[in-house]
């Protein structure tokens, strides 16, 4: 085993803020996302790896994995929305969103990048899900949120 399940110490880092940041991006709550970033959330945080806890009273329940030092073991899956910026890429294709909401995701992605979010994994997820977009001005269709976000991820 590379790691074991350990309960996180309550005082380690800003894990609550990081979890809040991920929830805000998922909910498209830009104001609360900015508040979390200003309060110290890590723009490049990773969703903790979830493992099925077979030893507990509920064998189908999953628990987050932590190192002995109390740091969350990051989930490493290129095809999953494991960081706030990757969550923005993932949510972009939600069929319930209109173009205004998608452009809000682009704005949120810009803020995450300005606060230090890693761009390469998000670009990889974008290309896995949607393929590369034409750059604006390349005789492509009218630019939309997909084009704007892809251009952000190329810079």
Distance CA 7, CA 14 (A): 15
Neighbours of 17 (CB within 10 A): 17
Instruction: Quote the CA–CA distance of 91 and 70 in Å, as a whole number.
Output: 30
> What mean pLDDT comes out for the span 95-121?
96
Q: What does pTM read for this prediction?
A: 0.79
pLDDT at 70 over 90: no
pLDDT in tens, 106-117: 999 999 999 999
Side-chain-facing half-sphere of 29: CA atoms under 13 Å: 12
**Where does the pLDDT of residue 48 fall: very low under 50, low under 70, confident under 90, or very high at 90 and above?**
confident
Report the distance separating Cα 100 and Cα 62, nearest Å.
Answer: 35
What the block records as the tokens of 140 is 């492509």
For the residues 77-100, what does the mean pLDDT come to? 92
CB atoms inside a 10 Å sphere around CB 128: 11
Average pLDDT over residues 125-152: 81
Under DSSP, is residue 148 helix (H, G, I), strand (E, B) or coil? helix
């Amino acid at each position: 085993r590379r790691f074991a399940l350990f309960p996180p110490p309550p005082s380690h880092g800003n894990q609550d803020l990081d979890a809040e940041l991920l929830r805000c991006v998922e909910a498209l709550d830009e104001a609360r996302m900015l508040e979390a970033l200003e309060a110290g959330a890590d723009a490049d945080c990773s969703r903790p790896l979830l493992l099925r806890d077979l030893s507990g009273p509920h064998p189908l329940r999953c628990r987050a994995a932590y190192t002995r030092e109390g740091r969350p073991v990051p989930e490493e899956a290129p095809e999953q929305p494991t960081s706030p910026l990757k969550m923005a890429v993932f949510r972009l294709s939600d069929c319930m969103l209109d173009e205004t909401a998608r452009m809000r995701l682009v704005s949120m992605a810009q803020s995450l990048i300005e606060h230090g979010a890693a761009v390469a994994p998000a670009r990889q997820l974008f290309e896995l899900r949607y393929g590369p977009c034409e750059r604006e001005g390349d005789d492509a269709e009218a630019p939309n949120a997909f084009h704007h976000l892809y251009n952000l991820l190329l810079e």
